[in-house]
Structure 1
Amino acid sequence: MTDSPPSGGPRPQPAAPPDPGGPRDAFFDNAKYAAIVLVAVAHAWEPLRAGSRAVTALYTVVYAFHMPAFIVISGYFSRNFDASPARLKRLVTGLVVPYVVFEVAYTLFTRWSDHEPDRAISLLDPLYLTWFLVALFIWRLTTPLWKLLRWPLPLALAVAMLATLTPSIGKDLDLQRVLQFLPYFVLGLSLRPEHFRLVRRRAVRIAAVPVFAAAVAVAYWAVPRYKYAWFFHRDSAEQLGAPGWYGPVLTLVVLGISLTLVACFLSWIPGRRLWCTALGAGTLYGYLLHGFFLQGAKPGGWYRPDWIHRPAGAVVVTLVAAAGITLLCTPPVRRVFRFVVEPRMDWAFRRATSRDRDPDRERNPDRGRARTAGVG
């Protein structure tokens, strides 16, 4: 939380987040660290849902906003993407190469963990966590088009609504998720620093408390009545067993819920440097690596003890997941895995000319490559 102002004096406004071309900002790094912890915790809760209505309610609330928050931030930091040679190179090394590497690695790993020795390697059917790399690649590659349009957000929302009516889209490149999450990315492209100032006001931070409390209560009530899979954005209305018209309507409803919770979540994020701020630069590492531990939990029997499925067990799972993802974002882990998560690959590209240079890197050569992916 930001510090309270002295009594009797004017209330200072939170510092505005810098434009995407500037140096790293503590607010966004703190937000990404908090969001990646929620990603890991929600994934760790999955085996506990069947035996706990409370865990399922919390799981639903977290899924309603954690990926939308990532995607909005990713869109905000894509505002300067112009398809220049330097930025296209960073797109390949920061998204395409990690996708290929981790798609193959996860396929081979799940052959063992899921006892499926015949599982085929397919670069067209993203497995587990890798869908986000595909989605971010497509979104960022189309950024110049969205910046050119006069009303990009309504058009992106129309695309998402139509996707829910199209079960034939299939699993190729996980296009359902790409299209249904698209409005959050386009919204991020449209945001300005003053918009983040609005959600970081003290009044919003206070209002976020009852909003989140109400969200958990409603989720608890809705668990046995409604499908929380709408928040996954990976299926059409027909595939979720609903009439076609539910799709466009639920797209609007889910968007409203998710953006409200994203605003509340961001209102609680401190703008000053904390012990975890530096970890925000390594969230892509935590995101891509933590899935191996979760997949390994199946054959490892980590969820077999009865006490794990009780309230105390859920607390332990939460703490272990939060600690584990924190370790995976640390500099030592990043140094070990940088060759596959952020490879330089200068050998694969022709030497850059003066026309190819990245203006962002020219202004700040130490900015870091992890921003290529919104979770980094």
Structure 2
Amino acid sequence: MTNSLRPNGDRRAPLPPAQSSADGVPSPRSPQSPQKKQNGKQRDAFFDNAKYLAIVLVAMGHAWEPLKGDSRILEAAYQVVYAFHMPAFIIISGYFSRSFDMRPDRLKRLITGVAVPYIIFETAYPLFKRWIDNDPHQDISLLDPWYLTWFLCALFIWRMTTPIWKMARWPLPLALGLAMLATVSPEIGDDLDLQRVLQFLPFFVLGLVMKPEHFHMVRRRSVRIASVPVFAAALAFSWWAVPRMNTAWFYHRDSAQELGAPWWTGPVMVLAMFGCSLVLTACFFAWVPRRHMWFTALGAGTLYGYLLHGFLVKAGDYQGWFEPTWMHQPLGEIAVTVAAAAVVTVLCTKPVQRVFRFAMEPKMAWAFKRDAAELARERQSAERSERDREREREKVNA
């Protein structure tokens, strides 16, 4: 129907519909994945499942850290998990950032969903350490991300640069080049954890350039079957490499010189680890369920689990929870693993989200001016509702 046929002579072109999601961009839709509506938005079960399973691996890896020194097998598993769990999470973050632009509503969502939680938790973590570790000298610095907050800082920078990557002709090679240069530049320092921002950047850019069909490719039966020997080979290689390789390479937070290696090993390790991480991430995605599972809804709360579980891990570290001898036995390591998975699962649930939403997803309407497009949409909606009511009254009178 053309505008000329609209009642009341309304000839204005309709405004584009408002879009909102947990990360400020529309949720991607996969034709092969069942869809669930949550808060009026379409969600893809595959991505929610992947985010939940990735955050469980993050929590398990952090729980293994105080124990891995006594077990070569656990150290090998730790290295394999660290090779792909954050890359998988970052690729998904990049994929969901494909439509990000400088539109006011998306910038507001970036501030309230990333920048504000960064400020809150970058303040809360040092205060927590002062209290539980009796350390009055622990400083609060918004320029030096503490423990888990580096990801929020990195995500803010990556997303703000998204329009640039979308303009670039060869974004992924350019991102890899920046990561390689970062590993030979110890002068970068610790401000905003720029080493991690740059060294993990290729995974975010990869997510930006990926399409739904790329995820369909890794979810084929043949890839699932091949992923089993690939993971077995990765574990075997990692077991061999434990005494021969510095685990700090997997953290991507230091230059080659800071790790005591020749400068040229930095670019080589960037390419080698990018390739290994990409293969293991593809194997991980191959085994992520595509259908709605009991934990699918928890995928919407992974940021809660990520930021909150750090308090428990650090409390255990400061209070000596990991020191009992039995925890360093195989059964103790299994118990710690199960406990970490259970705790982070609870932290992703709706009740926890309701309690901590003030810090993770604050509305902050008081801080922003109303967007003109949003006001116009509301005005058009009100006019449309009034016209509908007028038609109903005319039908009744007729």
TM-score, with normalisation over the residues of structure 1? 0.89
* Deviation at residue 120 of structure 1 after TM alignment: 1.1
Letter in 2 for 1:253: A
The answer to whether the 8 Å contact 1:75/1:184 transfers is yes
Render the CA deviation track for 1:280-333: whole Å, top value 9, x for unaligned: 000000000000001111343211210100100000000000000000000000
Render the CA deviation track for 1:97-130: whole Å, top value 9, x for unaligned: 0000001000111123444211111000000000
Corresponding residue for 2:104? 85
User: Within the alignment, does 1:15 sit opposite 2:32 as a pair?
Assistant: yes
User: Within the alignment, does 1:58 sit opposite 2:77 as a pair?
Assistant: yes
Structure 2: gaps spanning 5 or more residues = 1-29, 36-40, 382-398
Match of 2:151 among 122, 128, 132: 132
Match of 2:364 among 345, 348, 355: 345
Corresponding residue for 2:353? 334
User: Within the alignment, does 1:165 sit opposite 2:171 as a pair?
Assistant: no
* Deviation at residue 352 of structure 1 after TM alignment: 1.7
Match of 2:120 among 79, 97, 101: 101
Q: Distance in 2 between matches of 1:305 and 1:356?
A: 60
User: Within the alignment, does 1:221 sit opposite 2:228 as a pair?
Assistant: no
Range that drifts further, 291-300 or 212-221: 291-300
SS at match of 1:23: strand
Letter in 2 for 1:138: I
Q: What pairs up with 1:231-242 in 2 under 5 angstroms?
A: 231-242=250-261
User: Within the alignment, does 1:40 sit opposite 2:38 as a pair?
Assistant: no
Q: Distance in 2 between matches of 1:357 and 1:319?
A: 52
Whichever of the two has the greater Rg, that structure is 2
The answer to whether the 8 Å contact 2:133/2:319 transfers is no
Q: Distance in 1 between matches of 2:130 and 2:199?
A: 29
Q: Distance in 1 between matches of 2:132 and 2:82?
A: 25
* Deviation at residue 17 of structure 1 after TM alignment: 9.0
User: Within the alignment, does 1:266 sit opposite 2:285 as a pair?
Assistant: yes
Corresponding residue for 2:344? 325
Corresponding residue for 2:4? none
Match of 1:309 among 328, 339, 343: 328
SS at match of 1:242: coil
SS at match of 2:373: coil
Q: Distance in 1 between matches of 2:101 and 2:62?
A: 34
* Deviation at residue 221 of structure 1 after TM alignment: 0.6
Corresponding residue for 1:144? 163
The answer to whether the 8 Å contact 1:30/1:277 transfers is yes
Q: Distance in 1 between matches of 2:94 and 2:337?
A: 29
Letter in 2 for 1:127: W
Q: Distance in 1 between matches of 2:31 and 2:242?
A: 37
The answer to whether the 8 Å contact 2:33/2:291 transfers is no
* Deviation at residue 351 of structure 1 after TM alignment: 1.1
Q: Distance in 2 between matches of 1:356 and 1:154?
A: 42
The answer to whether the 8 Å contact 1:84/1:356 transfers is no
Q: CA RMSD in A?
A: 1.8
* Deviation at residue 14 of structure 1 after TM alignment: 7.9
Q: Distance in 1 between matches of 2:313 and 2:270?
A: 30
Q: Distance in 2 between matches of 1:27 and 1:353?
A: 36
Q: Distance in 2 between matches of 1:185 and 1:357?
A: 35
Corresponding residue for 1:283? 302
Q: How many residues align?
A: 344
User: Within the alignment, does 1:153 sit opposite 2:189 as a pair?
Assistant: no
* Deviation at residue 355 of structure 1 after TM alignment: 6.5
The answer to whether the 8 Å contact 1:14/1:200 transfers is no
Letter in 1 for 2:270: T
- Cα distance change on mapping 1:160 and 1:208 into 2, 3 Å: same
Render the CA deviation track for 1:47-89: whole Å, top value 9, x for unaligned: 0011111111100000000000000000000000011110000
Corresponding residue for 1:293? 312
* Deviation at residue 37 of structure 1 after TM alignment: 0.2
The answer to whether the 8 Å contact 1:66/1:262 transfers is yes
**Which has the bigger relative contact order, CA under 8 A and spacing at least 6?**
1
Q: Distance in 2 between matches of 1:357 and 1:276?
A: 39
The answer to whether the 8 Å contact 1:16/1:197 transfers is no
The answer to whether the 8 Å contact 2:150/2:192 transfers is yes
* Deviation at residue 229 of structure 1 after TM alignment: 1.4
Match of 1:119 among 133, 138, 145: 138
Q: Distance in 2 between matches of 1:233 and 1:250?
A: 10
Corresponding residue for 1:8? none
- Cα distance change on mapping 1:259 and 1:356 into 2, 3 Å: farther
Letter in 2 for 1:216: L
Q: Distance in 2 between matches of 1:61 and 1:110?
A: 29
Match of 1:256 among 243, 260, 275: 275
The answer to whether the 8 Å contact 2:34/2:291 transfers is no
The answer to whether the 8 Å contact 1:97/1:340 transfers is yes
The answer to whether the 8 Å contact 1:42/1:62 transfers is yes
* Deviation at residue 16 of structure 1 after TM alignment: 6.0
Q: Distance in 2 between matches of 1:356 and 1:119?
A: 46
